[in-house]
């Protein structure tokens, strides 16, 4: 009976009720869309880092990561690579030889990480080949070619097919230099990566380093990214003498960013719902004050105070329950559209690329966030009705009836 009365009461003033419903819808939409927007950014950033720099899992000699020691070669690296290729969880692997050194042009020089790769294997692990904007991703019949980032090329005043010199320490400890020609220039989402990384072919770099067929790093891409942790544990048991790390250990700041995002988004949602709560309180309080005579008559003919209290509570909850699905479906539709077409932030391209973010953002809605947000919104509705309901039951029937 109280629900029926509450339903009729909220439509006695349609404009006011629609304003409350619109407020709930707008607040819910704003919060959920913001969460979807930033979740899309974070997911793209992680995927970009994994596909460009990290891969799902990496294998190293235990001494290699700290100092990039040229002599820290994976023992029986090629045999391990063959075993990994046969693993059912592994999609692709790439064996790399890596060193730090200097890249020099006729006008400038810069410190870089030099990666020696097998181009065909690297294509299956890294997306660098897809980011080539000028030239090619290595020629099959040419030696001493390099692929460098656009940012680095601009910094050193280099163009396609220009020559450059790479200088680094060889396995014997001697300073070694090699002349290379630019085969291609890439432009990834991360300008800092573009400015600090150079790719050359495995054989060309290993010959200058004196490492032969030695491997410094085995990058592994899995069939399912969500299996990285469990597969990593399996590999650690299988290869106890090697340092085996998933992407979140290789880049702990990325893992921290994900956790920080989850916390920050719920704080932002809380702030939005808090603002919404004051809006509902204001509207419901106005409605209660306008209906003093009505509440006085109800209590005079026998409706007790708890029933009056819950009637107002139900009115607030019903208004929220009407706005809640509207807000959810509006968010699902909007996020679905932009997930397909993207949001163009090219106006902020320079700032975004410096921190590795894409200029096209594809919001992504996680269905797991619907339940907690729904509960938070319902709690907001109940809390919003408490003060107006208390105000209503404080009216004295004899006085309230004579209110005009």
Taking only the tens place, the pLDDT of each residue in 126-147 is 999 999 999 999 987 788 999 9
pLDDT at position 74 is: 95
pLDDT tens-place string over residues 172-227: 889 999 999 999 999 987 788 899 999 999 999 999 999 999 999 999 999 988 88
Asked if residue 223 lies in contact with residue 138, where contact means CB atoms within 8 angstroms, the answer is no
pLDDT at position 262 is: 74
Asked if residue 214 lies in contact with residue 97, where contact means CB atoms within 8 angstroms, the answer is yes
Beta strand 243-246 with 57-60 is antiparallel
Angle at 89 (CA atoms; ends 128, 258), nearest 5 degrees: 60
pLDDT at position 349 is: 65
Residue 254's CB: how many other CB atoms inside 10 A? 17
Task: Report which DSSP code applies to 50.
Answer: I
Q: Which residues of 15-42 are buried (b: 16+ CB within 10 A; e: fewer)?
A: ebbeebbebbbbbbbbbbbbbbbbbbbb
pLDDT mean across residues, the chain: 86
pLDDT at position 403 is: 59
Asked if residue 194 lies in contact with residue 188, where contact means CB atoms within 8 angstroms, the answer is yes
Q: In degrees rounded to 5, what are phi and psi of residue 301?
A: -90, 5
Q: In degrees rounded to 5, what are phi and psi of residue 299?
A: -70, -30
50 versus 287: which is more confidently predicted? Answer: 50
Asked if residue 314 lies in contact with residue 3, where contact means CB atoms within 8 angstroms, the answer is yes
Asked if residue 308 lies in contact with residue 314, where contact means CB atoms within 8 angstroms, the answer is no
Q: How far, in Å, CA of 292 to CA of 272, rounded? A: 31
pLDDT at position 355 is: 62
Residue 237 makes CB contacts below 8 A (sequence gap 6+) with: none
Asked if residue 57 lies in contact with residue 235, where contact means CB atoms within 8 angstroms, the answer is yes
Q: How far, in Å, CA of 44 to CA of 348, rounded? A: 17
Residue indicated by tokens 């907690």: 372
Q: How far, in Å, CA of 290 to CA of 18, rounded? A: 17
pLDDT tens-place string over residues 298-354: 777 777 778 878 888 888 888 888 888 888 899 999 999 998 988 887 776 666 666
Residues of the chain with pLDDT > 70, as a percent, come to: 95
């Amino acid at each position: 009976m109280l629900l029926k009365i509450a339903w009729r009461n909220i439509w006695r003033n349609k404009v006011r009720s629609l304003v409350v419903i619109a407020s709930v819808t707008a607040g819910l939409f704003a919060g959920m869309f913001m969460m979807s927007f930033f979740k899309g950014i974070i997911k793209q950033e992680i995927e970009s880092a994994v596909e460009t720099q990290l891969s799902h899992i990496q294998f190293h000699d235990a001494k290699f990561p700290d100092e990039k020691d040229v002599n820290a070669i994976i023992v029986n690296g090629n045999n391990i690579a063959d075993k990994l290729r046969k693993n059912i969880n592994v999609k692709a692997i790439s064996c790399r030889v890596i060193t730090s050194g200097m890249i020099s042009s006729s006008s400038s020089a810069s410190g870089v990480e030099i990666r020696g790769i097998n181009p065909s294997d690297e294509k299956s692990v890294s997306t660098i080949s897809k980011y080539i904007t000028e030239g090619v991703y290595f020629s099959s019949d040419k030696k001493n070619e390099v692929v460098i980032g656009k940012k680095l090329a601009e910094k050193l005043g280099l163009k396609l097919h220009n020559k450059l010199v790479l200088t680094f320490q060889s396995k014997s400890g001697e300073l070694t230099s090699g002349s290379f020609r630019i085969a291609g220039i890439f432009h990834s989402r991360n300008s800092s990566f573009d400015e600090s990384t150079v790719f050359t072919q495995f054989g060309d770099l290993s010959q200058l380093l004196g490492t032969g067929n030695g491997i410094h790093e085995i990058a592994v891409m899995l069939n399912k990214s969500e299996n990285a942790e469990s597969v990593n544990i399996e590999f650690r048991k299988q290869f106890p003498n090697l340092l085996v790390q998933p992407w979140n250990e290789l880049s702990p700041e990325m893992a921290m960013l994900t956790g920080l995002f989850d916390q920050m988004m719920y704080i932002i949602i809380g702030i939005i719902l808090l603002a919404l709560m004051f809006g509902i309180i204001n509207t419901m309080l106005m409605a209660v004050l306008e209906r003093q005579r009505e509440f006085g008559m109800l209590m005079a003919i026998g409706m007790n105070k708890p029933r009056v209290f819950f009637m107002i509570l139900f009115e607030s909850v019903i208004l929220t329950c009407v706005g809640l699905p509207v807000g959810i479906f509006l968010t699902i539709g909007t996020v679905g559209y932009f997930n397909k077409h993207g949001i163009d932030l090219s106006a902020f391209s320079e700032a975004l690329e410096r921190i590795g973010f894409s200029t096209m953002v594809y919001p992504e809605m996680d269905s797991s966030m619907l339940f907690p947000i729904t509960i938070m919104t319902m709690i907001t509705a109940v809390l919003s009705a408490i003060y107006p309901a208390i105000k209503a039951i404080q009216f004295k029937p004899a006085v309230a009836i004579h209110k005009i």
